Amino acid sequence: MQQLENETTANSLISSLDFSIDALWVLIAAALVFLMQAGFKSLEVGMVRRHQVAAVAMKNMVDWTVGSIIFFIVGFGLMFGHSLEGFLGTDLFLPSNWNAEGSHPLGPVFFMFQLAFVGTAITIVSGSMSERTGFIPYLTASVIIALVIYPVFGHWVWGNLFFEDNAAWLADLGFIDFAGATVVHSVGAWVSLAGLKLLGPRLGRYDHAGNLREFEPNSIPMAVMGVFILWFGWWGFNGGSTLAFGTDVGVIILNTNLAGAAAALVAYLHSFVFQNKANIYEKMLGGALGGLVAITASPHIQTPLTSLAIGAIAGVIHNLSFDMLTKKWKIDDAVGAIPVHGFCGIFGTLAVALFAPAETLPNGRLTQFGVQLIGVVTCFIWAGGIGYAMFYLLKKTVGLRVSPDEERKGIMLYHVKEEESESDPSDEELLELMKEMN
């Protein structure tokens, strides 16, 4: 009898210890993902031009503050609340009771981990649209991403993480996106693409012939530091997505690291051999991040070898999409976010069906590929579509773009009245010339 009691007590202690270790690990992982904000800040400050660094850094600050509040009030509920037919969460707004029946035991720790992901999605948009977007449209975009765009798509894929019995229509099809190659990264990228299409390139970005003009980055060493911080943060991003501290955490982090390393090396070599070394630093840095994004969809079921392969292919995809966007489509993405988060996100999500061992997939390989494709296309339509509508409305109301003067001298996060030039010509002179023009 005494032995049975002792065993029960021991089991209870072990169970409690397991829970504490899981909670601690996920909290550490959330901290690592939070640290990625500093990584994005350093990367973006390194990649943009010197006169824009203050505004870019401050926008990263805005990402986190806006995301923290909006996601707590509404976003978390839409993403993880009890589901309306797998499409939308309906409760957990302004959450105060973390012990609802059937909810995830980590409660607030789970919230903090998820919040760190929202911040990442928002900051992707701020980076790509740097150097010419006004503060008001940017702030509005951050709110809408945290309020609707991210949580609704997130519900479709991860809506069953907090309440296990929740429906989540993409997850129910068998869609796999372990840590958010599509949910986090592609959402940010497609909102960015919509914004950039409406915003237009930075002044002076293309020459007479329409060729890309190089803008000197503020500091490549700063950008490299940003990539290293991001890389480190990715250990939490992917490793923490287990939501428990098991033996698989080590494998996940190993696979993550291998994919990033392979992508960086291949992106560098590809640029060196096939692309005339154009933007070679940006491509190596972006390639590393592209590899990390790609493996994010499935680090838990890949092997080290398939992780290397996914990373290597992502490196090439990054470089090709980088050139296609900037040179052919004339989309001026200030920090190269769309090749990294968008194109490598697509590849990584599809690669789940191509590279993961068949027994780890919920469907046959071909069916799984179809499901992954549905998820990727849905994300593009949802995030790109709502993003486009949002930026279109902003353009037609408050406007998207700062004055040319601010673009040249540095964006202020508050309004400064422009000084009139004393050398402006008289109205008579102007009228005379305008008559000649007509």
The residue range among 106-114, 289-297, 351-359, 421-429 that interacts with another protein, by the rule CB under 8 A, is 421-429
Using CB under 8 A, pick the residue from 202, 300, 318, 341 that binds another protein. 202
d(CA 235, CA 139): 29
Select 197 or 401, whichever has its Cβ closest to another protein: 401
Which backbone phi and psi does 260 adopt, to 5 degrees? -60, -45
d(CA 213, CA 393): 30
* Distance in Å, CB of 144 to another protein, minimum: 18
Hey, how many other C-beta atoms are within 10 angstroms of the C-beta on 67? 27
Residue type, 188: G
Q: Is 203 in the site for another protein (CB under 8 A)?
A: yes
d(CA 58, CA 34): 16
E strands, 254-346, in order: none
- Could you tell me the two tokens for 190? 């497609």
Q: Is 132 in contact with 202 (CB distance < 8 Å)?
A: yes
Q: Is 51 in the site for another protein (CB under 8 A)?
A: no
Which backbone phi and psi does 206 adopt, to 5 degrees? -125, 140
* Distance in Å, CB of 52 to another protein, minimum: 13
Residue at token pair 């789940």: 352
Q: Is 430 in the site for another protein (CB under 8 A)?
A: yes
Q: Is 200 in the site for another protein (CB under 8 A)?
A: yes
The residues facing 83 across adjacent strands are 89
Using CB under 8 A, pick the residue from 58, 136, 148, 354 that binds another protein. 136
Using CB under 8 A, pick the residue from 125, 308, 331, 400 that binds another protein. 400
139: three-class secondary structure by DSSP:
helix
Q: Is 204 in the site for another protein (CB under 8 A)?
A: yes
Using CB under 8 A, pick the residue from 104, 197, 205, 330 that binds another protein. 205
Select 96 or 426, whichever has its Cβ closest to another protein: 426
Q: Is 281 in the site for another protein (CB under 8 A)?
A: no
Q: Is 422 in the site for another protein (CB under 8 A)?
A: no
| Residues binding another protein (CB under 8 A) | 134, 136, 200, 202-210, 213, 395, 398-405, 407-408, 415, 417, 420, 423-425, 427, 429-431, 433-434, 436-438
